[in-house]
Structure 1
Amino acid sequence: MSQAATQSDTSLTRRTGRTIVRPFAGALDLVLVQDPLQFSFPGSISRSHAEAAWTWAARDLAPELIDAERLADGSYTSAELEAIMPEMLLRMKAGIETAAADPEKDRRLRATLGSLEARDALPGIVLALRSRALLGKAQAFGKAINAMTDDAAIGAALQSMPLKDPALSALLFHAALPQIANPTRLATAIIKLSGNATEAAVIRMGFTPIIEAILAHAQNQLFVLQPMGPFADIDLICRSLDRFHRLVRSLTGYIEFARGSRWAMILSAVTKQVSDRIEPRLRDVVSDINQSLRKGREGSDRLDNDRILAAINGMYLLVTIRECRDSLALNALFDQAWSQSGEALELHVQRNLDLIRQNPSDSNTGARLDAGIKMAEVRFNPEYAETLKRARAAAERRG
């Protein structure tokens, strides 16, 4: 957790013994991004910075307007905040201006918020709060993009956004993007409007907020990819990888980035970060298959359910990486894992078929065989899995 988030949690805990649940009662949820964040973008707000600002506003600026107990236990509602929002925004604006005019007060504000970055984020947070009604409309805009059938309609929709106000349009595009299933359609539309696919042309036409919203959401997938243990939500991880791939390919497959530009550097760095998160798990795939499907050589035969779960999850991850490999820096490792996993599965399934033929009542061998067939279904195809199921049935009859 970042320093700002720690400060936020600690400050409210001193008063109530509990912590803040949602910054600004959820008013900023559509533009919040999760740590870790190597790069910042105008349209997104770090959750840790929002938590620090919320604590500052609730504790120091408007303590008489907000029930700290209800705030801490999560029962404080957005409707209650809406009633006091005009006054809170006035106090936040005054607090920022006072700090800006006095270096000592600015230093104290930085200390209160926990970091210089959290202090610098305050104007963007105020703008997002002032624009909160538009954020919901931006969501609807994103959903509407999915229903548009041609690039001309998408282009017209993009030009209806406040492109001449980069700060506001950055917030709106960030709020809209999660609703857009295929970000590539945005890229092709802005290329047509820009006249060519160069980075300079896209910037010149005012489409910087769209590119940076895509980059911000790509970076935000890192948060989902952190828990990679055997009990991690593999469906969520695979969906996050797929989303990362769609976002990155919408840029690298269509926009011509200048060599050494900031956007090119961000893409390279984020791709490396995501690949580094996935690499250790990818290295374990073949080992998990071997250990989960192999009968113990010494002592009593024990079924390792955790290892079986890890191996099955590894298969789903491997197949997802195969679909997303163009957006990752894992080609050599993936090729090795893909080849070896197929060989290992075929070997262990055949061995377990032989064992089940010798002893059809062996429940552990049966469980390993079921797991191996499931892995084969994911790694190869359902038809191959059906063939293996028939082979198992035949082996049990012969036994």
Structure 2
Amino acid sequence: MNQTAHITAIQTPVSRQASGSAAGSPFLGLIDPLLVEEPVVHVFAGSVSRTAALAVWTWVKRDVLPGLADAGITAVETAAELERVLPQLLPAMKAALEKADTDTEAQRRLRAQIGRDDARSEVSTILFALRHRAVLAKAQGFGRAVNAMAEDAGLPAALQSMPLQDANLAAIVFHAAVGQVANPTRLVTAAIRLSGNATEGAIQRTGLGPMIDAFLAHAQNQIHVLKLGGPFADIDLVCRSLDRFHRLIRALTGYVEFPRNSRSTAALSAITKLVSDRVEPRLKEVVTDLNIAMRRPREGADRVDNDHILAAINGIYLLAAVRDCRDSLALNAIFDQAWSQSAQALELHIQRNLDLLRKDPDDVHTGARLDAAITMAQVRFNTEYADTLRRARLAAERRG
């Protein structure tokens, strides 16, 4: 059983993944399938950062829409209202871009109004996405349909239905579709069969290069989730994000042959390093947190620190998630050390607390620490070992 699947079955953290309403989304949700979160180290044609989209949307509301007042267009509050004014809004946005292209001062003013150095290209991407907004929902439907397909034989033909001759359109379509695909490897193997070769160049010549970019963009989009500071980090969300990252990266590196000097190779290396750098400091704390949580206070009355217990349990869940996706991370040495030391520490603390419980079966603090240790043992080792420890706990209470 995949270790990540244990998380929702055993542990208590609840996912709180952000999902803002359409009213709070740039362009009122019309381009949401293309939005990615910062940090965006590598920019891909089929996506735009939410920060950039919000900046452009602010510019549109403040500087573009007022210019359409003569056409009876004022405030736009809903997606339906935005849909109605797009026939007038899109030409106005395009005119602003064309003016910036021919006038240096207009270009400088556009960057200042939007507040971003890449304002020109970001507005262009958003403008293209709005013109082709109708295909985004269809692309997402394609991704869900891939999940429902029992056999892979029909996938190459399905990929041929994509707009492979139009690179820009293919970029946004693939980005929207890949976000819905549960098993990205199926798309990659279908692309290889369609291309007749596993090299990146062959896949690109078939018109499926934007699919590789979409994989990389979605992998990069997992970085913002990896917020591991403090005992209340959403570890369930972090572990699912790591699993998604692993599925995307392994689908590429496990099947596609990338040249050493290709842009994709550079992006893979950079994204892997960023994800690993986010996880590494927390991995180094796993054994320390475990020891702190399992030990009695040196001074004063015995008590259980729930924050320390939670930090220890979360650390073990993170360790198990990293084990499942270690092939996609650059953490082998640190993981091996934490994995080995956590096992030794857990067994030591379990035995110590069992001995204490035998001496004093009514000690609720020892019982609580032992329960937490058994929960961690179930994740670190397996369910059978945890069940054995639970029986040992009951026997220790009876013996006492």
With the length of structure 2 as denominator, give the TM-score of the two structures.
Answer: 0.91
Moved more, 266-275 or 85-94: 85-94
Structure 1 residue matching 2:162: 3-state secondary structure: coil
State the partner residue of 1:48.
51
CA-to-aligned-CA distance 1:247-302 (integer Å, 9 cap, x gap): 00000000000012111111011101100000011111111110001112222222
> In the aligned structure 1, how far is the partner of 2:246 from the partner of 2:261?
22
State the partner residue of 1:323.
324
- The letter of the residue matching 1:90 is P
State the partner residue of 1:339.
340
State the partner residue of 1:388.
389
The Cα of 1:135 is off from its aligned counterpart by 0.2
Which structure's relative contact order is higher, taking Cα pairs within 8 Å and 6+ residues apart?
Answer: 2
> In the aligned structure 2, how far is the partner of 1:51 from the partner of 1:119?
14
> In the aligned structure 2, how far is the partner of 1:148 from the partner of 1:398?
56
State the partner residue of 1:249.
250
CA-to-aligned-CA distance 1:96-153 (integer Å, 9 cap, x gap): 1122121101100011111221332111100101111110010000011112234431
The Cα of 1:66 is off from its aligned counterpart by 4.3
The Cα of 1:41 is off from its aligned counterpart by 0.2
> In the aligned structure 2, how far is the partner of 1:308 from the partner of 1:53?
45
State the partner residue of 2:5.
none
> In the aligned structure 2, how far is the partner of 1:356 from the partner of 1:23?
57
Paired residues of 2:143 and 2:179 also in contact (CA < 8 A)? yes
Matched, 1:39 2:34: no
State the partner residue of 2:10.
none
Residues 225-236 of structure 1 mapped to structure 2, 5 A cutoff = 225-236=226-237
Residues 262-277 of structure 1 mapped to structure 2, 5 A cutoff = 262-277=263-278
State the partner residue of 1:314.
315
Structure 1 residue matching 2:325: 3-state secondary structure: helix
Moved more, 221-230 or 51-60: 221-230
Residues 90-101 of structure 1 mapped to structure 2, 5 A cutoff = 90-101=91-102
The Cα of 1:83 is off from its aligned counterpart by 1.6
Label 1:82 to 1:227 Cα distance change in 2 as closer, same or farther (>3 A): farther
Let me know the Cα RMSD of the aligned residues.
1.3
State the partner residue of 1:199.
200
The Cα of 1:34 is off from its aligned counterpart by 0.4
State the partner residue of 2:14.
none
> In the aligned structure 2, how far is the partner of 1:240 from the partner of 1:270?
14
Label 1:148 to 1:111 Cα distance change in 2 as closer, same or farther (>3 A): same
Q: Which runs of 5 or more residues in structure 1 are unaligned? A: 1-19
Q: Which runs of 5 or more residues in structure 2 are unaligned? A: 1-22
> In the aligned structure 1, how far is the partner of 2:214 from the partner of 2:304?
47
CA-to-aligned-CA distance 1:334-376 (integer Å, 9 cap, x gap): 1111111111011001111111111122111111011011101
- The letter of the residue matching 1:52 is A
Paired residues of 1:32 and 1:44 also in contact (CA < 8 A)? yes
Paired residues of 2:35 and 2:47 also in contact (CA < 8 A)? yes
State the partner residue of 1:135.
136
> In the aligned structure 2, how far is the partner of 1:325 from the partner of 1:203?
28
> In the aligned structure 2, how far is the partner of 1:359 from the partner of 1:397?
10
Structure 2 residue matching 1:108: 3-state secondary structure: helix
- The letter of the residue matching 1:136 is A
> In the aligned structure 2, how far is the partner of 1:219 from the partner of 1:271?
9
Label 1:214 to 1:390 Cα distance change in 2 as closer, same or farther (>3 A): same
The Cα of 1:227 is off from its aligned counterpart by 4.2
Residues 152-163 of structure 1 mapped to structure 2, 5 A cutoff = 152-163=153-164
Label 1:66 to 1:367 Cα distance change in 2 as closer, same or farther (>3 A): farther
- The letter of the residue matching 1:25 is L
State the partner residue of 2:121.
120
State the partner residue of 2:65.
62
State the partner residue of 1:105.
106
Match of 1:27 among 30, 36, 47: 30
Paired residues of 2:287 and 2:338 also in contact (CA < 8 A)? yes
CA-to-aligned-CA distance 1:293-345 (integer Å, 9 cap, x gap): 11122222221111100111111111111110000001111111111111101
Paired residues of 1:197 and 1:254 also in contact (CA < 8 A)? yes
The Cα of 1:229 is off from its aligned counterpart by 2.5
> In the aligned structure 2, how far is the partner of 1:237 from the partner of 1:117?
30
Moved more, 118-127 or 160-169: 118-127
Paired residues of 1:296 and 1:302 also in contact (CA < 8 A)? yes
Runs (4+) off by over 4 Å: none
Paired residues of 1:113 and 1:119 also in contact (CA < 8 A)? no
Paired residues of 2:228 and 2:235 also in contact (CA < 8 A)? no
Label 1:386 to 1:97 Cα distance change in 2 as closer, same or farther (>3 A): same
Moved more, 76-85 or 33-42: 76-85
State the partner residue of 1:173.
174
CA-to-aligned-CA distance 1:46-76 (integer Å, 9 cap, x gap): 1111111101111111135343xxx7xxxx3
- The letter of the residue matching 1:187 is V
> In the aligned structure 2, how far is the partner of 1:354 from the partner of 1:318?
27
> In the aligned structure 2, how far is the partner of 1:151 from the partner of 1:197?
17
Matched, 1:296 2:297: yes
Paired residues of 1:191 and 1:202 also in contact (CA < 8 A)? yes
The Cα of 1:390 is off from its aligned counterpart by 1.0
CA-to-aligned-CA distance 1:12-50 (integer Å, 9 cap, x gap): xxxxxxxx8210001111000000111000000111111
